[in-house]
Structure 1
């Protein structure tokens, strides 16, 4: 267990050339100091200080991972991230069980859903995902999100304040938005949302393993029943299996991955938006006065603030590759912080469904709250908000408000 206090954990430090080994010989040949990366737990839109310092000092540099997980290369420039994340050299398939990729509590999806291993998996998944996210499907999802927000605000007003927006608004909205896209019926959404929440927030492995087995079995069973009518994700994937475009395993893995990653994105980005508004009442007042600015504000937060704790899932170099003159050897771990490659105009085949739904959900939530609750405010001082710890979701544990 790390002995870092919250204060020291939030700041990088140089470490001597000791500690867990690299998986290849490159570390012994690299003379630069190794930064210790002890991940902070921000409650708001703060950026991890280690990638920020590396961005200024050394865009491709060695870091020591927390929790005794070894060392890795940290890449912090956007153009280098595009090379690494768009290249098949550093892949995710090799990460499972690798000593340098044990930074908990990562969710490791089924092998069949690991798109960034390179073609053909991403190409085969691209068409079904695009169909599930067609313009008509997104238009229906937007309208559904607006209706759901009206119902949630009505219920909160009836119950009276103070109320926790994470519990009364953000969580239920994410469950409904994602369930509508995936095709999970309303009577099953409490189950899938609970399993997803355990996978994203439980600090111990045993409950995550149980939740993982249950959600895998659920989507495997749904797809086995081959409900091919409709335009939601489950129906689209079922048709892809029926036409041999995807295997049953690939379809189930894709459904699980979308359910978890989309819920993650919608929940975390919604919490970021709420925190930003409630801790900056002047900005909230301006958005209320000029509602046309809201989509741009949502987009800025989506591009600049990572919705995951820690950095994106690591990759293991499948072969030697050179980035900015630095030789990364086969078998070594590579990490890319989310802000480094978020907001790219052409994200390529690895563009995920999560940010699309996060944008949709946050816009609907912000518009409804700004319009219907003109006196919305925090019920506690901002420094009393406690950050989430021990899971993948960033942001505050609760957002108590009055109106």
Structure 2
């Protein structure tokens, strides 16, 4: 989306100034849209109120495609996976719906429910290995990273995928300031070649996996380009594990720290874990607002939002973090509301035509991961204070690089 500083070539584990956990961040005070600037100097309208954010995400007068129209102002200092004008993310209207239909059936609540027993077995297997390893352990390498990687690999028929190579590609795909433009282009070229190879293999030997069904749907549609297919495959690989890994890691930072009193209730039943998952998704952002100011759109005509007329051609950032904390809609904090139903829709997964395809899959993985972990390890604790956490830095998302725990 945007970057705070020019790329340095440093990796995401680079040590810099101390960072606070993401559940401790202060959010933009909800109010009328206000003008700011992206690090590129491009003016951006920051939209923060719950109702205004919904309008930005659902109003057809604001779109993703105009962000990449000829003559559009620059959004970021270095490239990332979101920059492809022909990708699912950056198409609007009928073009977007046609491409989205090729994959959305695999991510409906009913489809995801069929995966629940298998995902539960993956969770239990990882917990068996973690417990056999013994205390202490890095729960990122043992649990929060391998779980979503295993799930998306199985869904896409990518069993045996090299986790280190995937992490390398994903970090570059979501880089803000961590890597140089040249390093990002090189990594993304390798990632695209991997996607093309997977597509060629499935064409030669179709299976029951998501890539095979994607190719069948594309064949039926007849108007999806090879470039778009490759973009879909690598985009699903990244989105299918990165945000779940990030959310799970940040959730554990909260639950094993400031939210420690909730740990035993989280172990009680899956319903409690489901409620907590919704609140954690609402309250804990995926990254820092100075790196990711919001979900970007561009107006195609003058639009009034929250009493302010935003001119045609303007870049607008829907600050979902601020909207998810809008006191007009959400009256409590995580301590008091963790197991309560949401008072209003949260926008962590967006809204409108670009609502996250994998929302139900992420929910299910998080519910099972948190509930089973709390049930199996009721005495789990962090072995270091939050200020000592080693964070993944310079990416559009932020989560622990490592997180040492004991029991």
Q: TM-score, normalised by structure 1?
A: 0.79
Equivalences for residues 4-403 of structure 1 within 5 A: 42-49=20-27, 51=28, 53=29, 55=30, 58-65=31-38, 67-96=39-68, 98-102=72-76, 107-115=81-89, 117-135=91-109, 137-187=111-161, 191-200=165-174, 203-204=178-179, 205-225=181-201, 226=203, 229-243=206-220, 244=222, 246-279=224-257, 280-309=259-288, 310-339=292-321, 340=323, 343=346, 347-403=351-407
| C-alpha deviation, 1:269, in angstroms | 1.2
Distance 1:322 1:292, change over 3 A: closer
Distance 1:242 1:232, change over 3 A: same
| C-alpha deviation, 1:170, in angstroms | 0.6
| C-alpha deviation, 1:293, in angstroms | 0.7
Distance 1:343 1:164, change over 3 A: same
Q: Find the residue that maps to 2:316 and give its secondary structure.
A: strand
Q: Deviations over 1:120-165 (max 9, x none)?
A: 1221133222222245642343223222222222222222222111
Q: Find the residue that maps to 1:353 and give its secondary structure.
A: coil
Distance 1:316 1:227, change over 3 A: farther
| C-alpha deviation, 1:334, in angstroms | 0.8
Q: Deviations over 1:208-228 (max 9, x none)?
A: 222211121222232244267
Q: How many residues align?
A: 361
Q: Find the residue that maps to 1:314 and give its secondary structure.
A: strand
Equivalent pair of 1:376/1:401 in contact (CA under 8 Å):
yes
Find the counterpart in structure 2 of residue 6 from structure 1: none
Q: TM-score, normalised by structure 2?
A: 0.79
Equivalent pair of 2:246/2:286 in contact (CA under 8 Å):
yes
Q: Find the residue that maps to 1:72 and give its secondary structure.
A: strand
Where do 5+ consecutive residues of structure 2 fail to align? 6-17, 325-344
- C-alpha distance in 2, partners of 1:214/1:179? 18
- C-alpha distance in 1, partners of 2:204/2:363? 28
Q: Deviations over 1:350-370 (max 9, x none)?
A: 121343232122112112211
Q: Find the residue that maps to 2:174 and give its secondary structure.
A: helix
Equivalent pair of 1:216/1:256 in contact (CA under 8 Å):
yes
Structure 1, 305-314 or 337-346: larger mean CA deviation:
337-346
RMSD: 2.9
Distance 1:318 1:2, change over 3 A: closer
| C-alpha deviation, 1:98, in angstroms | 4.8
Distance 1:346 1:396, change over 3 A: closer
Q: Deviations over 1:31-80 (max 9, x none)?
A: xxxxxxxxx9542323453x2x2x1xx32111233x35332100112222
| C-alpha deviation, 1:83, in angstroms | 2.0
Where do 5+ consecutive residues of structure 1 fail to align? 4-39
- C-alpha distance in 1, partners of 2:82/2:19? 21
Which gives a bigger RCO, structure 1 or 2 (Cα 8 Å, sep 6+)? 2
